Structure 1
Amino acid sequence: MASPLSRRTVLQSAMLATAASGFAATASAQASAAAPPPPASWTLQPFHLKDVRLGDGIFAGKRQLMLDHARGYDVNRLLQVFRANAGLSTRGAVAPGGWEGLDGEANGNLRGHYTGHFLTMLSQAHAGTGEQVYADRIRTMVEALAEVREALRRDPAVLAVDGRFGSAAENVRGSYQFVDLPSGVLDGAGSITLSAWVKPTHEGNWARIFDFGDNTTRYMYLAARTANGVPRFALTTGGPGAEQGLDGTSALPLNRWSHLAVTIADGTGTLYVNGSAVARNTAMTLTPAALGTPADNWLGRSHFSADPVFAGAFDEFNVWSRALTPDEIAALQNNRAADTPAGRGDRASYAFDETTGATFTDASGRGLHATLRRTWGGPSHPGFLAAYPETQFIQLESMTSSDYTKVWAPYYTAHKILRGLLDAYLATDDDQALDLASGMCDWMYSRLSRLPDATRQRMWGLFSSGEYGGIVEAIVDLHSITGKAEHLTLARLFDLDELIDACAANTDTLDGLHANQHIPIFTGLVRLYDATGEERCLTAARNFWGMVVPQRMYGIGGTSTGEFWRAPGVIAGTISATTAETCCAYNMLKLSRMLFFHEQEPAYLDYYERALYNQVLGSKQDSADAEKPLVTYFIGLTPGHVRDYTPKQGTTCCEGTGLESATKYQDSVYFRKADGSALYVNLYSPSTLDWAEKGVTVTQTTDYPREQGSTLTVRGRSGAFELRLRVPSWATAGFRVTVNEQTVGGTPRPGSYFAVSRTWQDGDTVRVTIPFRLRVERALDDPSLQTLFYGPVNLVARNSVTTHLEFGLYRNAALSGDLLPSLTPVTGKPLHYTLDGTEFVPFFEGTEEPTHAYFRRAEPRVVFGNTVSGVANPAKADGTTLLDEVWAGAPFSSKDVLVTRVRTTVDAWVAAGLLSRADGDRVVRTAEQASYVP
């Protein structure tokens, strides 16, 4: 029954209906397009990945490592869990480790997410390189997922494999399938023999070969393996504590056929394994008759819900209404039951020779034909597609507290699959991928639209279990192609109102929240604004960004500690070995980019450069690996931290986003104004832009950030447009632009865009000079804890000690305020320096060397131009030192201006009683005697 509509829902429905009509008009035109239409609200628009080619440099090198990984990894391994869930052959593939298999953390409750990331990576790789190999791999995956969805829509069908005698029925691990026998198999039997041929494929404790009973109190089972590793038969009417059992003596071998039989008669039970009696109980007071007519008669399934479904194959299963003799059981080892003195079971007999369908014929003559079923029934909607049952989604709807071991972010996983399929469609025009994506949204709408708003709010507020990633962004993107009104309505069903309303009111409630669970909410809100025009969405996203940058941002651009946020402004107080989850940087880049499309606030792209050139580049190891992408989960910022490029055995969320990041490095180098009047150069990166609408190409030639500038060459037909060149906020002096070697007039302002307007001619050359300076950034809550930057590059100290290193940097500072002269460059190694015997290197180098991203600033003595005054460097109560105050006045146009600054500062400190006159005079004399670099 549909839930009552709230007042807010009614208002939204009216608004969304209006917005949907505009999208529907373009749906048919976009059906075969390679990208969704740009929203009308974007004053800037990106270029497609295919339009921007990377040149040689640090990005191309990192990308090539990932492209090689994408080309070589066996995609059947990713598809294994999907095929298993649908009861299809897994083709011998072994699922990846970590979170993507059945044996990973929380029993693989996130499986399927990595497949979505991989599809996105392949899509970006194909778009960026044009290589057919990536399109072929996309096609393989999409066809397999279509086959999976079709199998899930149907009743399960037997998977026939070679058996002990003929054909056998395989139960793929992860399929949640079992054989359901009709009532009457036991039928009050007092004496009985049960016999089965099985081939286990996994060491799953307590998986049942058979389980007959009503519940967890009254049952009779044969488990292939107990916690002690041996088979066990048990019969009880009083639950586990009252079981009368038979335990084997050794484990059943994996991937080999074993014969098991149980006989009960005259108070004696015997367990046989491969024809030998391995256990006998002569005090059995219970027989199957004690169970009457059990409600459930299962092969492969347990009455205990926590027990796994049997993984392996079944050959003959027979039930006789007497205890077979040892000789009769021995005869079953090499012959079908029908060809032995015992004959087929007179109560039930299944040969499992069927190769199609879901019904197994009973050869006992009693007509007790069995049926193959799923423990969870089947999908609630034909669009369902996942690598696990729909039960996680169902359980989430009634959860009041989080438990990721039971329900681990099912809508997050759905988002990754949906995004991957949508990207596959955009990259290859594969209508099957679009149909799968659209079907997933139809299914989600069918579930979520029936829930009361209060239920959804509770779900989305649950840590981890209710996480849904960037699903809203993907749904709106899909809607822009399909024009289906239900899809846009679906996007609004993910609103987490408490957080969104707080951010819209610019009220910071982030303390204690899981960072990456909530960042993608705001990329979705920006897209909702695009589709609906609701200002609340854009305002909330804008305000949220300001709560993270710089209030919860580390120098490298990352955020979060142990995946969570703490109070604003607490940086030094949150540094740990689990800071800066890589997914957070990935999603903050997305959000910054989206906000910039609406509001050309340079701070968004300043952040983008910071996080991309430091955390994102540094999160990819500079090594090749066929099995793993070698991407960090966390980047610890503690002293001496060693980056872990193989976290949690692979396939984590951050490795998934790492696949994507490394194949779209070029996505924000250039933007264009929606009307085509301007080209924004956001990043200085070796690349070639094909601006087809203008008939021009723009090639950037640079080794930035090893080179302090870039050269842009315009080729093609002449035309007028404005070239807008980003002036980084750190570029405080010397930013210069020439066109055809002629200086362009104007005053570039740090943290802005410098405009060059002209009618461009074929061959015009623009040279951008961007002098770097060495500078520090102080932790907001502890100014003495600092991190070092040279231009856009974070420099980290290589040292294995686990306490903060102490460095002084004023000793030879330049008149410009540049601290670089205090360091010594390393010959032949660009961007490498030494200070006091310690090497500083770029953060983006993906090595496993121990590093110090933050150090303790120590300036104990007043020193100018490497001339020591002999005076202790005094400090105020807030930690500001005399030298801090002097150099805060940089840049200085001359030595005399610096000396004047020293003199006035000294006078003020002497007057305040912070420095003696004699020491102050010595400080001034030292400043006068020292020599300085410009």
Structure 2
Amino acid sequence: MAPPLSRRFLLRAAALAAATPAIGHTATGRAAATVQEAQAVTAVPTAWTVQPFALDDVALRPGLFADKRQLMLDHARGYDVNRLLQVFRANAGLATGGAVAPGGWEGLDGEANGNLRGHYTGHFLTMLAQAYAGTGEQVFTDRIGTMIGALTEVRAALRRDPAVLSVAGRFGTAAENVRGSYQYVDLPAAVLGGAPAITLSAWVRPTHDANWARIFDFGDDNTRYLYLAVRNANGVPRFAVTTGGPGGEQGLDGTAALPLGQWSHLAVTIGGGTGTLYVNGSAVARNTAMTLTPAALGTLANNWLGRSNFATDPVFAGAYDEFNVWSRALGAAEITELQGARAADVSAGRGDLASYAFDETSGGTFADASGRGLAATLRRTWGGPSHPGFLAAYPETQFIDLESRTTSDYTKVWAPYYTAHKILRGVLDAYLATEDARALDLASGMCDWMYSRLSKLPEATLQRMWGLFSSGEFGGIVEAVCELHSITGKSEHLALARLFDLDRLIDNCAADTDILDGLHANQHIPIFTGYLRLYDATGEARYLDAARNFWGMVVPHRMYGIGGTSTAEFWKARGVIAGTISDTDAETCCAYNMLKLSRTLFFHEQRPQYMDYYERALYNQVLGSKQDKADAEKPLVTYFIGLTPGHVRDYTPKQGTTCCEGTGMESATKYQDSVYFRAADGSALYVNLYSPSQLTWAEKGVTVTQVTSFPREQGTTLTFGGGTSAFALRLRVPSWATAGFRVTVNGGAVSGTPVPGSYFTVSRTWRSGDTVKISMPFRLRVEKALDDRSLQSLFYGPINLVGRNSATSYLQLGLYRNAGLSGDLLPSLTPVSGKPLHFTLGGTEFAPFFEGTEDPTHAYFRRSEPRVILGDSDSGVTNPAKPDGTTLLDDIWAGAPFTGKGALVSRVRSTVDAWVSAGLLGRTDGQTVIRTAQQATYAP
């Protein structure tokens, strides 16, 4: 009898299933299901005839994958997660503890105004969850707990009105305005009092050098206002007053920039037609033609500290200590006195129009000490969330803007639902790894919030949104929402998943109509994994049909040899490979998502080509995208993998926090996720990948230990442990395994003929100690670009071999000389002693693509065999070619493997006759080729 399933396994299985739960729950309006409810969810999709194992059921053993993973685990252990939380805390107006957000896409100063910030934090959480599942190390759960605790605090802070962040000030306490909080101080309309003369005085400590951030701005709009900016376009303080917009400003400009992180005192006086700007007690600017005063402006609607009446100006970042307004122009001596003491303690006294000391240590209001009772209020420029479940590292404004947007502009809206997906995925994975109810609450709340927004929108609006390049990108959010629904059972969550239907894409792909040309690749690949989960939950066949057909539009029609796809993030026309070779090929995220799609399709339909592709992309692009080097600050993962001749991989693109580095962190901590699958009824175990690992199959009470150095070894050994159990062992026979695939059990050969591109089944009752040995000899072969058969890539078994050569033009290689009767091209290469999978040819070293080096590489080469050479003999005859690039030698060797020399000569004769008949080869040259074939000596 199989042992009972653990609670943890049930939770994992439920989430992976993304199915309608076995125990239904009606919508209750709660923020999340309880842990007890989640425990009850054990259903898996009936559509899944094959299911995965949880990450903690499969342990990586020493080898290629474990070595790559170790580099990422070290990074995960050491990176300061407070840096990732900085933008979330800032958005909520919370203290950031001096943490500095990472660069690139994740910080406020990142590309496109940091409009994607928060995405990387979600990736990091997923990495930590997977790292814990794969290793069981407490350090990863501790780090998850820190992050989930902080995000819970952030959401709570966003739910309530802003509260003062009290810090040490110039004299006492001060009010901190964290950069990225979008907070400002709102003053009552009567603050200026219509005074004909005035002094405005403030102590500020700026923390950022953005131009045009306001210390104060009092105005109606962009026409009538009075402001003091920390920096103008020249980087110095500027005061201005106008009743006629920017062109009518009467101004005062400072002479030097204010220092960051230090307290500075600024004062402006207007009286008797003269305006003066003081910085730290010194008059730095004077205007004797200052005719405008507050009296000329009248009562103004917007009276702000830290916010501008110009919507595109930044919010002031820094701290305030004392802000006073007097209804007269203070003298120079009085301004000087203000440098050493509070206003209340010098001759000027507190401002008679307004006086704020910022001594408050809680709440969201600031008392006015002027005697006029003009209490000020701390506010956000964007108000606050539309729903209490909102969680993000930026305001909700991007989501709001997207709803009316008809064109993309990523400096304003950059894929907010994509970012939401990464955060949702991260907190959901955190829950599955640690069972922390707070993480489930965060995930459920996020989906409640999204449903509250999207369910109110017309269908036409949703279709327009999701069809927008970049702005409307939503990544794999459908998959994550469906997985959450399998836990919470909330009907709104399944309804939310369906609100992301992009009908034009679904309907065309379901009809097998290829519309991919010109589409943004990674915007669309993860959509289909989500649609498969919707098929599981709804049974609607169009989702499955669309996903299956979409996969076939990419593989092989838009696939490079390494398994990657896309050029500069986009797809080109079907079948165009050579015509798209560039420095921006194969975005790494695309490979990550194609792997997810392939394995999920396999759960529904066990087509071996899905796992053939999985092996190709995993062993080549995904492994090769991770640099073989440790780094505490960056994960060192490529964005693009350029396939141009002599390309050097960039492992630190865009300062290190792109989408691809995020998915790269995830890939490196789940290498074991598809090594083994099981039949849904427990009748079979699928061995998909040949990787050193140990499977614990709890339901069967057995372990399977795989010992191999594959791909440096051309085979593997499986040893069974535990109890006795009957099931079919299904061994993937790779499509490249044309040199044989031999299986023995306990030393005895297994009958049957393994067919490349299929699964070979061994059925028996397995007992502890049973040993299965598999031999799968590699052959060297080429794969030809679909649109240019002379442009080729070199493969040895599953491994793409790249030339390491600094040349920036395609290498010219001939490979038929010395080719074996088996069709193996390996005799043309020379092995490098002591370096497995390394060879030389024509003075160039060829090495596995998976080696994460910074060598200039050639993933493609130009095939060049100008003469017909067979074995060790040169016929002297020019090697002719057909219009599509296929040469005579290509046609001859397409008949390999040959049972012997006679079979090869026969193939040469029939091929020559066909080419002569077609007018592609002269009869005399043809006879010479046949004689050469008869005289040559060949390798086996």
How far is 1:907 from its partner?
2.6
State how far apart, in whole Å, the 2-side matches of 1:427 and 1:164 are: 46
Instruction: From the superposition, tell whether residues 620 and 648 of structure 1 become closer, same or farther in structure 2 (CA, over 3 Å).
Output: same
Point out the more displaced range, 467-476 or 911-920: 911-920
How far is 1:34 from its partner?
11
Amino acid at match of 1:897: A
1:782 and 2:788 equivalent? yes
Partner of 1:121: 127
Partner of 1:761: 767
Q: 1:632 touches 1:645 (CA, 8 Å); kept in 2?
A: yes
Please list, as runs of the form range in 1=range in 2, the aligned pairs for 1:269-284 lying within 5 A after superposition.
269-284=275-290
Q: 2:38 touches 2:488 (CA, 8 Å); kept in 1?
A: no
State how far apart, in whole Å, the 2-side matches of 1:30 and 1:552 are: 46
Cα deviation 1:485-515 (Å, max 9, x = unaligned): 0000000001111111111111111111000
1:164 and 2:170 equivalent? yes
Partner of 2:742: 736
Structure 1, unmatched stretches of 5+, are: 1-18
Point out the more displaced range, 307-316 or 893-902: 893-902
Q: 2:25 touches 2:490 (CA, 8 Å); kept in 1?
A: no
Match of 1:81 among 80, 87, 98: 87
The DSSP-based 3-state class of the residue aligned with 2:583 is coil
Cα deviation 1:282-327 (Å, max 9, x = unaligned): 0111111111011011000001111110000000000000000000
Partner of 1:448: 454
Match of 1:851 among 857, 878, 883: 857
Amino acid at match of 1:61: D
Partner of 1:411: 417
How far is 1:33 from its partner?
4.4
Match of 1:819 among 803, 816, 825: 825
Cα deviation 1:819-864 (Å, max 9, x = unaligned): 1111111111100111111111100000111101111101101111
Instruction: From the superposition, tell whether residues 35 and 261 of structure 1 become closer, same or farther in structure 2 (CA, over 3 Å).
Output: farther
Match of 1:191 among 193, 197, 218: 197
How far is 1:329 from its partner?
0.3
The DSSP-based 3-state class of the residue aligned with 1:107 is helix
Partner of 1:320: 326
Point out the more displaced range, 867-876 or 661-670: 867-876
Q: 2:482 touches 2:493 (CA, 8 Å); kept in 1?
A: yes
State how far apart, in whole Å, the 2-side matches of 1:391 and 1:907 are: 72
How far is 1:801 from its partner?
1.1
Match of 1:709 among 712, 715, 735: 715
How far is 1:23 from its partner?
5.2
Q: 2:38 touches 2:487 (CA, 8 Å); kept in 1?
A: no
Instruction: From the superposition, tell whether residues 159 and 574 of structure 1 become closer, same or farther in structure 2 (CA, over 3 Å).
Output: same
Q: 1:44 touches 1:673 (CA, 8 Å); kept in 2?
A: yes
Cα deviation 1:137-169 (Å, max 9, x = unaligned): 000000000000000000000000000000000
How far is 1:226 from its partner?
1.1
Q: 1:30 touches 1:481 (CA, 8 Å); kept in 2?
A: no
Partner of 2:376: 370
State how far apart, in whole Å, the 1-side matches of 2:410 and 2:154 are: 25
Match of 2:671 among 665, 669, 674: 665
Instruction: From the superposition, tell whether residues 412 and 35 of structure 1 become closer, same or farther in structure 2 (CA, over 3 Å).
Output: farther
Structure 2, unmatched stretches of 5+, are: 1-18, 27-32
How high is the TM-score relative to the length of structure 1? 0.97
1:24 and 2:24 equivalent? yes
Please list, as runs of the form range in 1=range in 2, the aligned pairs for 1:328-343 lying within 5 A after superposition.
328-343=334-349
Point out the more displaced range, 179-188 or 874-883: 874-883
Amino acid at match of 1:251: A
The DSSP-based 3-state class of the residue aligned with 2:188 is coil
1:908 and 2:900 equivalent? no
Q: 2:584 touches 2:640 (CA, 8 Å); kept in 1?
A: yes
Match of 2:388 among 377, 382, 391: 382
The DSSP-based 3-state class of the residue aligned with 1:100 is coil
Cα deviation 1:345-381 (Å, max 9, x = unaligned): 0000000000000010000000001010000000000
Q: 1:34 touches 1:427 (CA, 8 Å); kept in 2?
A: no
Match of 2:303 among 293, 297, 300: 297
Question: Percent identity of the aligned residues?
Answer: 80
1:571 and 2:577 equivalent? yes
State how far apart, in whole Å, the 2-side matches of 1:537 and 1:270 are: 69
How far is 1:919 from its partner?
2.3
How far is 1:896 from its partner?
1.2
Partner of 1:8: none
The DSSP-based 3-state class of the residue aligned with 1:297 is strand
Please list, as runs of the form range in 1=range in 2, the aligned pairs for 1:185-264 lying within 5 A after superposition.
185-264=191-270
Partner of 1:539: 545
Q: 1:32 touches 1:429 (CA, 8 Å); kept in 2?
A: no
1:504 and 2:514 equivalent? no
Instruction: From the superposition, tell whether residues 504 and 324 of structure 1 become closer, same or farther in structure 2 (CA, over 3 Å).
Output: same
Q: 2:354 touches 2:368 (CA, 8 Å); kept in 1?
A: yes
1:633 and 2:630 equivalent? no
Match of 1:842 among 845, 848, 868: 848
Match of 2:365 among 355, 359, 363: 359
State how far apart, in whole Å, the 2-side matches of 1:113 and 1:31 are: 29
Give me the CA root mean square deviation. 1.3
Q: 2:218 touches 2:304 (CA, 8 Å); kept in 1?
A: yes
State how far apart, in whole Å, the 1-side matches of 2:653 and 2:173 are: 42
Match of 1:588 among 587, 594, 618: 594
1:268 and 2:274 equivalent? yes
Amino acid at match of 1:405: T
How far is 1:873 from its partner?
1.1
The DSSP-based 3-state class of the residue aligned with 1:24 is coil
Cα deviation 1:171-190 (Å, max 9, x = unaligned): 00000000000111112111
Q: 2:22 touches 2:43 (CA, 8 Å); kept in 1?
A: no
Q: 1:728 touches 1:751 (CA, 8 Å); kept in 2?
A: yes
Partner of 1:5: none
Q: 2:23 touches 2:41 (CA, 8 Å); kept in 1?
A: no
The DSSP-based 3-state class of the residue aligned with 2:817 is helix
State how far apart, in whole Å, the 2-side matches of 1:78 and 1:407 are: 21
1:106 and 2:112 equivalent? yes
Amino acid at match of 1:279: A
State how far apart, in whole Å, the 1-side matches of 2:744 and 2:570 are: 46
Q: 1:360 touches 1:371 (CA, 8 Å); kept in 2?
A: yes
Amino acid at match of 1:563: E
Amino acid at match of 1:359: T
Cα deviation 1:455-499 (Å, max 9, x = unaligned): 111110110000000000000000000000000000000111111
1:130 and 2:124 equivalent? no
State how far apart, in whole Å, the 2-side matches of 1:874 and 1:513 are: 39
The DSSP-based 3-state class of the residue aligned with 2:591 is helix
1:466 and 2:472 equivalent? yes
The DSSP-based 3-state class of the residue aligned with 1:811 is coil
State how far apart, in whole Å, the 1-side matches of 2:337 and 2:842 are: 83
Amino acid at match of 1:473: E
Amino acid at match of 2:853: T
Match of 1:54 among 55, 60, 84: 60
How far is 1:905 from its partner?
1.9
Partner of 2:9: none
Cα deviation 1:531-571 (Å, max 9, x = unaligned): 11111110110010001000100000000001001110000
State how far apart, in whole Å, the 2-side matches of 1:712 and 1:908 are: 48
Match of 2:626 among 620, 629, 633: 620
Amino acid at match of 2:259: P
Q: 2:232 touches 2:238 (CA, 8 Å); kept in 1?
A: yes
Q: 1:35 touches 1:426 (CA, 8 Å); kept in 2?
A: no
State how far apart, in whole Å, the 2-side matches of 1:352 and 1:913 are: 93
How far is 1:911 from its partner?
3.3
State how far apart, in whole Å, the 1-side matches of 2:926 and 2:709 are: 46
Amino acid at match of 1:889: G
State how far apart, in whole Å, the 2-side matches of 1:913 and 1:449 are: 67
Match of 1:865 among 843, 865, 871: 871
Q: 2:738 touches 2:756 (CA, 8 Å); kept in 1?
A: yes
State how far apart, in whole Å, the 2-side matches of 1:36 and 1:388 are: 36
Instruction: From the superposition, tell whether residues 34 and 851 of structure 1 become closer, same or farther in structure 2 (CA, over 3 Å).
Output: farther
